[in-house]
Amino acid sequence: MKKANAPKIAIAVAFFLACTKVIFGILVNSMAIVSSAADSILDVISSSINYIAIKKADEPPDEKHPYGHAKFESLATYIQSLIILASGGFIFYKSILKIVHKQAITDLNTGIYIMIISLLSTTLLVIYLTIAAKKTKSSIIEADALHYKVDILSNLGILIALIIIKYTNFQIIDPILSILVAFYIIYSAINLNIKVSMDLLDAEIPAEVKEDILNILKEFDKYHLDTHRIRTRQAGNNKFLDMHITLCRNLKLEEAHKITQLIENRLKEKIDNLDVTIHMDPCDEKNCPGIEACNNHKIRID
Amino acid sequence: MKKANAPKIAIAVAFFLACTKVIFGILVNSMAIVSSAADSILDVISSSINYIAIKKADEPPDEKHPYGHAKFESLATYIQSLIILASGGFIFYKSILKIVHKQAITDLNTGIYIMIISLLSTTLLVIYLTIAAKKTKSSIIEADALHYKVDILSNLGILIALIIIKYTNFQIIDPILSILVAFYIIYSAINLNIKVSMDLLDAEIPAEVKEDILNILKEFDKYHLDTHRIRTRQAGNNKFLDMHITLCRNLKLEEAHKITQLIENRLKEKIDNLDVTIHMDPCDEKNCPGIEACNNHKIRID
C-alpha cells in the first residue's frame, strides 16, 4: 500500500462533501449546512498538507536535511493536531452561542439527508484510513484517520440532534450534543499533540525499543568494556541512536572497527529503520585488560 | 540577563493591558476595545507558553530527552508563529466584515486614550525584548518581540484610524489600515515559521557555521585520510554534528582516539554549544598508507 494514496482519497472525499454542502447550503439557505461545509473545506486543506508532507517525508536525506525528511511528517501531524484542537474549540464556542441565543434550526429534512451522506462517506473513509495507517505505520495517516473519526462524531451529533428536533422540537439537544462532541475532539487532539511532540522535541524512543537495544548491547558484553552516553530519538518511523563504546586501547583500529560493525549490523538487523553512530573510546591505561584480551577479541571477530 | 525574565515582564504588561481594556471596554460598551482586550489575553497566554518553554529549554539533558530540551523552545516559537498567523488572519477577516457591513465606530475618545496607553507600554516592552533577544540569542524572545511589534502596528493602525475618523468621519480608513496591518502580520508570521521550522525539521545548521566546521576539518587533513557522512542539525542555540573519519587501519585505538579528540576539542573551542560524535573507520587494506604513515601520526599527536 502506497502511503501517498491515503491522503489523496481523503482529499477527494472531503472535496466531494464540501461541494455538496456548499451547493445545498446555498440552495436551501441553511447556515448549519454552510458552516459544516467550512469544516469540509478545512478537511481538504488539512489532508492536502498531509499529502505534501508524506511525499516530502519519503525523500532520501540530502544536503539540506542530512537526517532525512521524516520530521516533515511529524510537523504536519503536529499542525493537524492543532487544527483538530481549534475545530473542537470552535464547535464548543458555537454551541454556547446557540444556547445563549436560542437559535432554532430550520431546513430539518435537507439537513438530515446531507448529514447521512456525509456520515456514510466519512465512515468509509475512516475504515480505509485506519487500515492504511496500520499497514504503513504512518503517524500522519493515523492523525488523518483521527481527524475524520472526529468528523463522524460531530456529523453523528448533528444528525441525532436534527432527528430529535424533528420529532420533539427539543431544540437545546443540538448544542448539548455538540458540547459533548467538542470535549471528545479536544481530548483526542491533545493526545495526538502530546504523542507527536515527542518526535519534535527529540524525546527518547519508546521504552520497549530502547530495552531491545540495551539487550542487544548486552549480547556483545564480551567484546567491549562498557557502553555509555547512549542517546536515542526518532522522526516518524526512523530511529536514531548514537553511543560511545569502550574498547581495549591496544586493539588496532581495524579490529576495533570490526567490533562496532558487528554491533551495528546486529542492531540494524533487529530494529527497523535504525540509524547508528558509534564512537569508540580506548580503555584507561590502568584498567587495560592487556594484550591477551585484545587477542581474545581478535579471535572472536574473525 | 536571565532569559526567563523577558517573558515575565511581557506577561505583566499584557496582563495590565488586558485588564485595562476589559474594564474600559465594558464601561463604555465598546466592541472594538473588548476585542482588543481579547488580543491582550492571547498575548498573556502566548508569553506564558514562552516562559514555560524557556524554563524547560534550560534544563540539562535527562533520560527522557538525551539531546537536551532546546527543542521545547523551538516548538514554542513555532506555536507562537501560528498564533501570530491566526491573529493576522483574524484581523483581515474582521476588516472585510467591517467593509461589508459598514459598521461605524463609536466611543472615539475612550478608544484613542486606550490605544495611546497600549501603544506606549507595548513600545517600551518591544524595546526591552529586542535588547533581551540580542543578549540571550534566544529565538523565543525574538519571536516574543516580533509578536509585540505586530501589536504595536495593529494598535497604531487603530489609533490613526480613530483620529482620522474623529476629524473627517472617513469610516472606511479603519478597515483599510487594518488590512495593511494584517498583511504585514501574516508576512512576519510566515517568515518566523519558516525560520523555526528548520530546527524542528532537523535541517542543516547555517551555511557559514557549516563552512567553519569544514575549514577546521581541513586543518587536520594530515591526520586523517578522509571525513565523510558529515551531518549537522540544531536545536535553539545548540548545534549537533556527527561524522565519520577514516584513519589508518594499523593505528592503535588509543592513537586513533587521540586524533578524534584533537579534532573534537578544536571544533568545540571554535564553535559554541557544539555536540560532536565522531565515528572512526579504518582505511582499506589496498589504500593503507602503511605503518610509516601511522608512525607519522603518532609523532604528530604526542
Q: Round the average pLDDT of chain B to a whole number and report it.
A: 85
Q: Nearest residue of B to residue A283 by CA position?
A: B254
Q: Does A287 touch chain B (CB under 8 A)?
A: no
Range of the domain at A41: 5-200
Q: Kindly report the CA angle at A190 between A188 and A193, in degrees rounded to 5?
A: 110
**What is the average per-residue pLDDT within A111-135?**
91
B54 lies in the same domain as B31: yes
Q: Round the average pLDDT of chain A to a whole number and report it.
A: 85
Q: Do A253 and B254 touch (CB under 8 A)?
A: no
B75 lies in the same domain as B108: yes
Half-sphere exposure of residue B2: CA atoms within 13 angstroms, side-chain side: 8
Where does a domain end: A141, A169, A200?
A200
Which residues in chain B are closer than 8 Å to A248, comparing Cβ atoms? 253
A215 lies in the same domain as A291: yes
Q: Flag whether the ipTM exceeds 0.85.
A: no
Alpha-carbon distances, residue A30 vs A16, A37, A98, A114 (angstroms):
18, 11, 15, 11
pLDDT digits (tens, 9 = 90+) for B24-80: 877 776 666 776 777 788 888 888 888 888 888 888 999 899 999 989 989 998 998
Which residues in chain B are closer than 8 Å to A294, comparing Cβ atoms? none
Whether B9 contacts B128, CB under 8 Å: yes
Enter the C-alpha cell of residue A200. 519534535
B120 lies in the same domain as B238: no
Res B301 pLDDT > 90: no
Q: Do B67 and A202 touch (CB under 8 A)?
A: yes
- When CB atoms are compared, the residue of A72, A79, A233 closest to B201 is A72
B110 lies in the same domain as B132: yes
A196 lies in the same domain as A211: no
CATH number, domain containing residue A283: 3.30.70.1350
Res B300 pLDDT > 60: no
- Better pLDDT: B218 or B299: B218
Short-list B14, B19, B24, CA closest to B47: B14
Q: Kindly report the CA angle at B108 between B103 and B111, in degrees rounded to 5?
A: 100
Res B105 pLDDT > 70: no
A179 lies in the same domain as A211: no
The percentage of residues in chain A with a pLDDT greater than 70, rounded to a whole number, is: 91
CATH number, domain containing residue A10: 1.20.1510.10
- Beta B226-235 vs A274-282: how paired, if at all? unpaired
Res A208 pLDDT > 50: yes
Whether B246 contacts B282, CB under 8 Å: yes
Which residues in chain A are closer than 8 Å to B248, comparing Cβ atoms? 253
The percentage of residues in chain B with a pLDDT greater than 70, rounded to a whole number, is: 91
pLDDT digits (tens, 9 = 90+) for B162-196: 888 889 888 888 888 888 888 888 888 898 899 88
Task: Name the minimum distance, in Å, from the CA of B112 to any CA of chain A.
Answer: 30
- Total number of domains constituting chain A: 2
Strand partners, B234: B239
The residue of B56, B193, B201 whose CB has the most chain A CBs within 10 angstroms, and thus the best one to mutate to test that interface, is B201
Q: For residues B80 and B202, what is the distance between their CA atoms, to the nearest angstrom?
A: 19
CB proximity under 8 Å: A 144-183 to B? none
Enter the C-alpha cell of residue A208. 520497549
The residue of B75, B195, B254 whose CB has the most chain A CBs within 10 angstroms, and thus the best one to mutate to test that interface, is B254
- When CB atoms are compared, the residue of A71, A254, A260 closest to B201 is A71
A194 lies in the same domain as A212: no
| AA identity, residue A153 | L
Per the rule left: phi > 0, alpha: psi between -120 and 50, beta: everything else, A29 is left
Q: Does A284 touch chain B (CB under 8 A)?
A: no
What is the maximum span of chain B, computed from C-alpha positions, in angstroms? 91
pLDDT digits (tens, 9 = 90+) for B257-287: 999 999 999 999 999 999 999 999 998 877 6
Q: For residues A49 and A58, what is the distance between their CA atoms, to the nearest angstrom?
A: 14
Where does a domain end: B200, B229, B260?
B200
B109 lies in the same domain as B138: yes
Q: Nearest residue of A to residue B197 by CA position?
A: A75
Q: For residues A36 and B288, what is the distance between their CA atoms, to the nearest angstrom?
A: 70
Where does a domain end: A176, A200, A224?
A200
CA torsion, ordered B196, B197, B203, B209, to nearest 10 deg: -10
Res A300 pLDDT > 50: no
- Better pLDDT: A56 or A291: A56
Short-list A258, A93, A66, CA closest to B280: A258
- In this prediction, residue B91 carries a pLDDT of 82
Q: Do B253 and A64 touch (CB under 8 A)?
A: no
A82 lies in the same domain as A177: yes
Res B86 pLDDT > 90: no
Task: Name the minimum distance, in Å, from the CA of B223 to any CA of chain A.
Answer: 14
Q: DSSP character for B59?
A: S
Q: Do A203 and B281 touch (CB under 8 A)?
A: no
A223 lies in the same domain as A133: no
User: Which pTM was predicted?
Assistant: 0.81
A189 lies in the same domain as A253: no
Which residues in chain B are closer than 8 Å to A235, comparing Cβ atoms? 202
